Chains A and B, each alone.
Chain A
Amino acid sequence: MLVLFAGIMTGANAQKERFKALFIYNFTKNIEWPPQVKSNHFIIGVVGNSDIAAELQTIAQTQKVGNQTIKVINGNSTDELEFCHLVFLSGNKTAQLPHLLTKLSGKQTLIITDGKNLAAKGSGISFVQDGDKLKFEICRRNIEKQGLKSSSALANLGIVVD
């Protein structure tokens, strides 16, 4: 029975991870990417959470960002992320956020985190769980600081923490 319930919890989490990956892909459509990063692959870096990375890999098989094919890299450290267009820092790696911000400062990278009040602490977008509802905080200032521009839809639909 314990194994069953452990499995149940894992299954419910997988559903959430699937939607987070769908949101991440959707966010790419709501960011104005500068021309200089619109060549070669569109690289998404995932720090921690291999489930989201796997979901993004599946999306990468059929979808593009603009004309760019998607490449997903997954690791536990922030060291390999310098060439990423988008970096997702999973909840259990939040401690690495300051280091990540320093490393990617002004590098036209969208930084997405997973946890409450993290957009105020430097990320562009951060997932927050409100009961059963999946929501996101958005800090336009942080996005612009990275050299990117966000669509009005992001601000309209997210929790703005500018």
Chain B
Amino acid sequence: MTINSFLSRRWLTALAFSASCLVAVNAQEATSTVSEMTSEQIQQLSYNDLLQLSLEDLITVANKFGMSADEMLEYFLNKDIVAASKKAEKSMESPLSSTVISKEQIERSGVTNIPEALRLAPGVIVREKTPGNYDVHVRGYDNIPSNNILTYSENMLTLLMIDNRPVYSYAFGGTFWETLPIEVSDVERIEIIRGPSSALYGPNAVSGAINIITKKATSKSVAVSFDNALGNNNTNIANIASTFGIGNKLLARVSGNYQWNGRFQNDFFTFYDSRYHTQDFLEITKDKDGMYLKENASDIEPNPRRAGEKFGGNVALYYPVNDKVNFELAAGAQKSAVLTSMLGNRMVPFSIRESQTQYIDFKANAGGLQAQVNYMAGDQEYEKMVKGFHIDLQSFNANLEYDYKIQNLSLRPGVSYQQASYDDSKYVNTAIKEGYLNGKCVLSTVAAFMRADYTAFDKLRLVGAVRWDKYNKPDVTHMTYQFITSYKINDNHLVRGVYSRANRGPFMTDTYSDFTWQRIPGAFNILYLGNENLKLPVMDMIEFGYRVKPVKYIQADFEVFQTKTKDYSWFMPQSIAIKLSESGKPMMEGIIGYDNFDMTTTQIGFSGNIQIAVNKNLTMNVFGNIQKTELDHFYARKASEILEEMVGKLQTPDQPVNNEVKDADFVDQTHKSTPSYYGGGSVNYIFKEKWNINTSFYYYGKQTFAMTFMDTEIPAKTLVNAKVSYNFAKENKVFVNVRNLLNDDSNEFAFADQIGTKFFAGVQLNF
């Protein structure tokens, strides 16, 4: 993917927007619906909208815009959240541990992309791997099992959704954040649920669920927004969006985004000598087996200063038939290239991942009936120009729910079907098992669920949710549940308790791997074998929470939790043997397979979040987590050591050496790969309506990342950020944005980049 190709797409997008604007200009003018608008919608009206209002509407707007002090505090402190129970409710009353990040917080804070925005919420560990590319974990659980492949550094236990559409990678588990077709400019709000939530959202919502709600057109009047930030290292971030009406009822939003993130360095970490080296060095240096550290490194990434480049476009249509029936249709596409750790080769853990995907998502609401169907397709090259890691993928989700209310009891039954289909046969020679899968592989789930929500005396709330998922692989049915109770002592105090269970779903690699890796061509092959009968990881949680508004300016949220997780899958050397190659020469053949070990992780933690709204112009928050994770019966051996030991024992042909798992190899230990404390805070101040000054900080404690080749310590870090914007003409702003103000460039992730201070200057225009 070249910049030129990106630029040509930008022109296409601009043309599409121009066309859409023309359509919209000809569309019928908006009829007045101001009295029906929420305060939040009114806040979105442009200055031009205000000038065109009738006197009656202007009075309505003035009184809602200049909300009373109490209303304003409520707006900032007690945001609506849907994800916690699939119905809009005030965050003060949310029965689960949850946080909402609003679009105002996102814009004012200066975060440059969606994963960075998650640093604004408690319970989320966010570390930057290379500029603009992040690792995100909810409450930790990262690098389990340790001492293994780099894949286990990915967060496989959190479900990410865009408007309830799962955007989850079924290849190795986890989220490829750069493949989201949307950007922060498209985000209305981000809802974060901490703790097991499979009963509501299905597989993979184990440590939590993140639901990104996108912006929609709310009025038929034409509006265009554009922002562009230019930063050091040639970083360029641009977003454009237009909202308009078509005909009498149809509302549309079209948006496009582009990012080019530059690195602070030219070199890359290598296990060869545990140092950073240039691509030239990697291309000409051989390891002890006589193989180059990274062949074709400069062909794989001609510009070593590029951390990532992405392009996305989206269209969202909303058609309200009447008060009770409406339809939504969204579609979009993205193309991305990112320097990230995922597979990496055996010597260089960071490499380029490229993706291009398209999606379509349809929603229908009729009375209490809600249907959602979506489809995503594309191809992903998990490690560019390395055979075996290029895949065509498709995923399909269908969900049908019905919300039924009988007095104080609300019932929500539903059914769901999910299917992911991955196929690498187009890119590899399947006969020699050159691919990871060597064919089309399908994972699917059929599910039924029910949620009951009962409120007694307006104070006591009892919620029970249960879901059954029938998987094709492994051929099992998992039952997950949530039992929640909350008691509203009065409007200012709420206590709550949760007992819940969730499970992770299966992935392509641990289920279907059938890959022959020519470790030393002609001399040593390693077979990667999946396991269709793996047990799926299950987490149980008990949590107690307390929410309080000690005074009307402050809302605080505290929670203590304990989780137990079992049935992790493991990628472990199993055996090694001497076989005859096709040419008749003896060669070694190792088998590395996926299996479960009887390990349990126990995590206990405390989390606090205090939000203060002194008034509309001065808001602040501070939050933090303290937690401890213990591994019980952990198989502590490094995969590479086992392999070497087996090779050493291999003496006689036809007598394979198996890995002997001894009781003594199992230990109980504190898990040090996840920080034991982390959190952040921010202060936002609006000065004279025109200036917005935001400072934020984010911190985490030290961790020791342990993988098969080596351990490395990630030092504790505090990041301080600041953004100042000036509103020079109504909704048009110029801004400067500084990330990592203290210029602490210690790497935040194992083997990752050293990232210093990022400076941005830019404009945000609305017309």
Contact = CB atoms under 8 A, between A and B. Distances in A.
Interface of A: 4, 7-8, 10-12, 14-16, 18-19, 22-23, 25-27, 29-30, 58-59, 62-63, 131-134, 153-154, 157
Contacts of A63: 51
Contacts of B65: 15, 19
A157 B686 CA distance: 32
A62 B767 CA distance: 12
Contacts of B688: 7, 10-11, 14
Contacts of A18: 689
Interface stretch (B34-42, B159-167, B614-622, B669-677): B614-622
Given A11-B688, A14-B689, 7 more contacts: A7-B688, A11-B617, A19-B62, A26-B54, A27-B55, A62-B51, A134-B63
Q: What's the dominant secondary structure at chain A's contact region?
A: helix
Nearest to B615: A8
16 contacts: A7-B617, A8-B615, A8-B686, A15-B66, A16-B66, A19-B58, A22-B51, A22-B58, A23-B62, A26-B54, A59-B51, A63-B51, A132-B67, A133-B62, A133-B66, A134-B62
B59 interface: yes
Contacts of B616: 11-12
Interface residues of B, number: 29
Contact of B615 (A12, A131, A153): A12
A4 B62 CA distance: 25
B614 A8 contact: yes
A66 to B, nearest CB: 15
B615 A26 contact: no
A-B residue pairs, 8 tightest by C-beta: A14-B689, A132-B68, A7-B687, A8-B617, A19-B62, A11-B617, A26-B55, A134-B62
Contacts of B55: 23, 26-27, 29-30, 153-154, 157
A63 B690 CA distance: 22
B580 interface: no
B742 interface: no
Interface string B683-702: 00111111000000000000
Nearest to B53: A26
Nearest to B687: A7
A27 B53 CA distance: 12
B582 interface: no
Highest count of chain B CB atoms <10 Å: which of A8, A58, A153 = A8
B59 A11 contact: no
A154 B65 CA distance: 21
Interface string B57-91: 01100110111110000000000000000000000
Contacts of B69: 132
A131 B54 CA distance: 23
Nearest to A134: B62
Contacts of A14: 688-690
A153 B62 contact: no
